[in-house]
Structure 1
């Protein structure tokens, strides 16, 4: 076996809890066993007294067995059998620990806002938040959404979660017949400002990601969740009103409500809003 391959196997064994010496001896035992401690130590370039200690440890882990012979010889438990048993035991222990630690945890998640500052961390938190949804997901974002988020929304819809989705861009492709309602942003899906991703789940947790996709915040804090939830519902109200009374509202406040935005907006009117307003006015001539 190539040196690079053996080194990789030793590294992987160390990653799952073997000591370096245990990893070297176990791999050697798989290669040459049955073998004596002396033979294993010589092959693995390990002092014989150390090899005896390692073999006691490996038999204790269930990775090796001692067989008859003078001197004693050892065989490796077949790797598939050993690692399947190890994986099953580890999974069971992790589940038990998670349950015990959850019982110990104080319900203090509503006291903080978690700052997220990397795309991978943000997507991971978005997926986990959607996966935790029990009854309702409300969100606003640009469509189409990333593939993994789209799949998470599909899975939520299939398990009966209501989805209220305000979108920029194209209409999201989500399962028909599910409890899903879609609204184009402001009734026409126009992208007229910074594209924040905003998510509120079960009125218990909320997440906001900035347009760069690099920074965001997650919280179960009641005030934070309330702000996100109320904002999203007002987006739904506005979309419903615009879809029903768009002509009357535009005649009073201008396309994309630019008169209101100019008077009360947090930012100066930007090119996207002005371009949209100009396009709407030309269309009506």
Structure 2
């Protein structure tokens, strides 16, 4: 297949994606190529029966993609594609905006009676971005940094429109700009990455999302109980991070690095190996500091 034919097939396919039937797309492409032209000439170019071509031309004229320029025999020209497509895009955008407003009033104010299970990375990423974009006043977040680029850009856009961002992070300090509206805390005061953890997001205390460490499963909800649990958990994470940042030495003296004495006392599972290695490294460093 030649490059030209491949291009035409692609154009016809894309016209189908914006609402053209296959026959409309083929005739419109033919009209752009050879017009002004009669229905007979267009049918021959597009390999379509002449009676069908008349019906298609009537439809294209109604769409605003073509117009008749003479009567006997009828000849047609294509509306310049860029002009037609820009007009169509503008009209479609306006209609979609009107529909969004009209149909929004048909929905309940809050979808708070379900938890949406997210079972693919693409679905999770889409919901994360949409949740951040919906933020109006505050975003609470706990995640490993650096963040994926699209999530980082969404957070930066939220900060730019005045949304407060409270972010507890593992790893590198996020490079988010926003002045006093953006507040960052290293996890438990040191930001040490002590193993895989959930990505947690709470927006405006109205919606929340959790993604498990594998990144393959997650859950989103506007249910008040779900949002409350996520929001309170995240607030306590930032409280702990701020307290640890200010009183790290005293707290480590009392409860050990990474609060391992508390973890061992109250944890239902054995302390994970990543945490154990972190604790051991901190204890060795503290011992060396004491000796010095």
Query: What is the alpha-carbon distance in structure 2 between the residues aligned to residue 179 and residue 108 of structure 1?
Result: 27
Counterpart of 1:229 (choices 228, 231, 240) is 231
* Pairing 1:269–2:286 present: no
Superposition CA RMSD, Å = 1.4
* Pairing 1:171–2:173 present: yes
- Asked whether the 8 Å contact 2:137–2:163 carries over to 1, the reply is yes
- Asked whether the 8 Å contact 2:160–2:178 carries over to 1, the reply is no
Counterpart of 1:160 (choices 154, 162, 167) is 162
Query: What is the alpha-carbon distance in structure 1 between the residues aligned to residue 45 and residue 155 of structure 2?
Result: 55
Structure 2 unaligned blocks of 5 or more: 288-292
CA change 1:87–1:176 in 2 (3 A) is closer
Query: What is the alpha-carbon distance in structure 2 between the residues aligned to residue 203 and residue 55 of structure 1?
Result: 55
Counterpart of 1:68 (choices 67, 70, 87) is 70
SS at match of 2:169: strand
Query: What is the alpha-carbon distance in structure 1 between the residues aligned to residue 26 and residue 168 of structure 2?
Result: 57
For 1:59-82, what per-residue CA distance to the aligned partner results, in whole angstroms no more than 9, with x for missing partners? 111111111242111111110111
Structure 1 unaligned blocks of 5 or more: none
- Asked whether the 8 Å contact 1:160–1:178 carries over to 2, the reply is no
SS at match of 1:189: coil
- The equivalent residue for 1:181 is 183
- Asked whether the 8 Å contact 1:157–1:178 carries over to 2, the reply is no
- The equivalent residue for 1:3 is 5
Counting only pairs closer than 5 Å after superposition, residues 142-221 of structure 1 correspond to structure 2 as 142-175=144-177, 177-221=179-223
Query: What is the alpha-carbon distance in structure 1 between the residues aligned to residue 144 and residue 197 of structure 2?
Result: 7
For 1:155-193, what per-residue CA distance to the aligned partner results, in whole angstroms no more than 9, with x for missing partners? 111221111111111111111524121111111112234
- The equivalent residue for 2:51 is 49
Counterpart of 2:135 (choices 129, 133, 136) is 133
How much has 1:108 moved relative to structure 2? 4.5
TM-score by length of 1: 0.96
